Amino acid sequence: MNRLLGFVALAGLALMLAASPARADSFTVSLNTSPLSGPLIIAFQLSDGDGVADNSLTISPVNFGGGGALGLPDYEGTTGVSGDLTSGIAMDDSSVFLALLVQDFNPGSSLSFLLNITDNFAGGFPDTFAMSICDTSFNCYSDDTNTGALLVLNLTGGTLSPSDFILNGASAQGLSAPVVTAAVSAVPEPSSLLLLASGLAGLFVAKKRAA
């Protein structure tokens, strides 16, 4: 009986480890877009720097503060991306080089969304997430002329914090840099298999005590 209990306990632990999703960090991103007028383009990209498909992210439906998304998204022929600004976006680095989403929008007073992203690093060059806002000729607004991005995040491994984000304003358009704050993530619920294993273990313990 003791051996059986030990087996059930180990099986439950294995199921718990197998069911645990890859850890991801969550952030709220917001940008004051009141100086802007549209239509404009927003672009999100996740580039694969380390050559390993090891990172993914989700972006909640974007709140435009009185503005709104226009038309359909364009993935520009890339893979590893789905969704749109209205329903939410999912991206991973399974593409050969990068996953890219661009979509038109009319700016309102602000732009905000919840970013949930993993941070794995296989060595060499890190994967990178970036957000850009551009005019319809793809002239992007940023004081960083190298990236043309308002937000850049290099995924170098470990736990992420708001200080890991590279944030740029756009002086020519009167834009301040985005604001990034940590968001509280909900604890994942245990899987039904784990609950079943726990129940079996409790059943065996009860029988042993009754014997």
Structure tokens at 21: 């999703």
Lowest mean pLDDT among 20-34, 39-53, 70-84, 155-169: 20-34
Whether residue 138 is found in the same domain as residue 200: no
- The whole-chain average pLDDT of the chain stands at 83
Q: 41, 103 in Cβ contact below 8 A?
A: yes
pTM, whole model, 2 decimals?
0.78
Amino acid at position 76, single letter: E
pLDDT tens figures, 97-122? 899 999 999 999 999 999 999 999 99
Question: How many domains, in total, are found in the chain?
Answer: 2
Q: List, in order, residues 6 or more apart from 141 with CB less than 8 Å away.
A: 132, 133, 134, 135, 150, 170, 172, 173, 175
Which is higher by pLDDT, 117 or 205? 117
Whether residue 196 is found in the same domain as residue 116: no
Whether residue 111 is found in the same domain as residue 130: yes
Look at the block and give the residue holding tokens 């694969």.
48
Whether residue 30 is found in the same domain as residue 59: yes
Q: Which structural domain, as residue segments, surrounds residue 207?
A: 1-20+188-211
Distances (CA, A) of 50 to 66, 81, 99, 115, 177: 39, 18, 14, 21, 28
Whether residue 177 is found in the same domain as residue 195: no
Whether residue 134 is found in the same domain as residue 194: no
